[in-house]
Amino acid sequence: MTAHHWHVLGAGAMGCLFAARLQDSGCDITLVVRDTRPDPLALVLEDGEDTREMKFPTTTAADRAPISHLLVTTKAYDVVDAVSSLAHRLDRDSQVLLLANGLGFASELSGRYPWLAPYCGTTTEGAYRVSSFRIRHAGHGATRIGRSGEPNPPAWFAPWRALENCLWEQDIDSALWEKLAVNCAINPLTAVHDCRNGELLSRPELAREVDALCNEIARVSEAAEFAPIAAGLRARVEEVIRNTASNHSSMLQDCRAGRTTEIDYITGQLLRVADLHGIAAPRNRSLLEQVKRLGG
């Protein structure tokens, strides 16, 4: 098995988690950091009862060495600018994998660099930063990776296959849309009501909102030719809410921390598709405006 050299762009909790897992499966890893940081960078990874220190070489965008394999784990709204900052280190043979929430950035990127043809992924792994150099792997989930129209994985996927619960997804478009649909039903509501995911089912007035939102999202999903996702959406949303009942969604965390949210790449993207098909989605539109008013 050839283990490649992966550069990880977006060294937040998720980026560091994947850096650690890829290093474990034999890949060379370099973290792309914004400014000069210790090289190597030492990070502590907590996983269940296990706590260990890991070291990663670092680089900044200003360096010139070519990048063969790039994993992007930035926030959705940073993907295009962050990859652009490394464009001088990429060429037609560079493999780029986008593992960010939401939709829309892959086509923006392809518009700017038609030769890039990025792979995309979606994950339900949970990780958060305990402190600047300490990451906690909080929830074990599944990761699905693919590229539209490519049923078989490329050679670089071999070490990824060794990661826990990481699969090549033959229909990545559906996988990404399903994640988007679920996020549209959960994230903005939790942000606007400042509540844990579980309250979306336990508070009757919010449960009614979830139902109404799912109806709108299902209509858009059907128009976008994701009929099976439309049919199973309400049940899937309920399952995710139950599995993550005590979580604060990523959008609520962003609002509380005064950070930009990913609403434009989640609900905003759903609304762009709704508009294309002439579907009014007033509840989603109103949530987008409310989240924007909260600052994101």
Stretch 80-119: interaction string toward ligand PAF, x if CB under 6 A: ----------------------------------------
CB of 202 to ligand PAF, least distance (A): 15
CB of 151 to ligand PAF, least distance (A): 26
Query: Which of 55, 75, 179, 292 does the annotation list as catalytic?
Result: 179
> In the complex with ligand PAF, which residue's Cβ is closer, 117 or 138?
138
What is the C-alpha separation between 140 and 97, in angstroms, rounded? Answer: 21
Q: Out of 74, 122, 250, 269, name the contact with ligand PAF by CB under 6 A.
A: 250
Number of H helices, E strands in the chain: 11, 12
Q: Other C-beta atoms within 10 Å of 211: how many?
A: 13
Q: Out of 74, 143, 249, 267, name the contact with ligand PAF by CB under 6 A.
A: 249
> In the complex with ligand PAF, which residue's Cβ is closer, 70 or 103?
103
Count of positions on this chain that bind ligand PAF (CB under 6 A): 9
> In the complex with ligand PAF, which residue's Cβ is closer, 58 or 244?
244
Report in angstroms the alpha-carbon separations of 135 from 41, 44, 53, 148, 245: 13, 6, 10, 32, 22
**Which distant-in-sequence residues (6+ apart) come within 8 Å of 236 by Cβ?**
178, 181, 182, 229
Query: Is 254 within 8 Å of 263 (Cβ atoms)?
Result: no
75 catalytic per annotation: no
Stretch that binds ligand PAF, among 90-98, 110-118, 245-253, 278-286 (CB under 6 A): 245-253
> In the complex with ligand PAF, which residue's Cβ is closer, 29 or 266?
266
> In the complex with ligand PAF, which residue's Cβ is closer, 159 or 296?
296
Q: For residues 123-136, b (16+ Cβ closer than 10 Å) or e, as one string? A: bbbbbbeeeeebbb
> In the complex with ligand PAF, which residue's Cβ is closer, 58 or 249?
249
* DSSP states of 111-151: HH-TT---EEEEE--EEEEEETTEEEEEE---EEEE-TT--
What is the C-alpha separation between 271 and 82, in angstroms, rounded? Answer: 25
Which of the residues 166 through 225 are near ligand PAF (CB under 6 A)? 183, 186-187, 197
Q: Which helix (H) or strand (E) holds 200?
A: helix 199-202
Stretch that binds ligand PAF, among 90-98, 170-178, 244-252, 271-279 (CB under 6 A): 244-252
Stretch that binds ligand PAF, among 28-36, 158-166, 219-227, 247-255 (CB under 6 A): 247-255
In three-state secondary structure terms, 203 is: coil
**What is the DSSP code (8-state) at residue 279?**
-
CB of 250 to ligand PAF, least distance (A): 4
Q: Is 143 in the site for ligand PAF (CB under 6 A)?
A: no
CB of 253 to ligand PAF, least distance (A): 8
**What is the DSSP code (8-state) at residue 83?**
H
Query: Is 26 within 8 Å of 51 (Cβ atoms)?
Result: no
**Which positions touch ligand PAF (CB under 6 A)?**
183, 186-187, 197, 240, 244, 247, 249-250
Kindly list the catalytic residues: 179
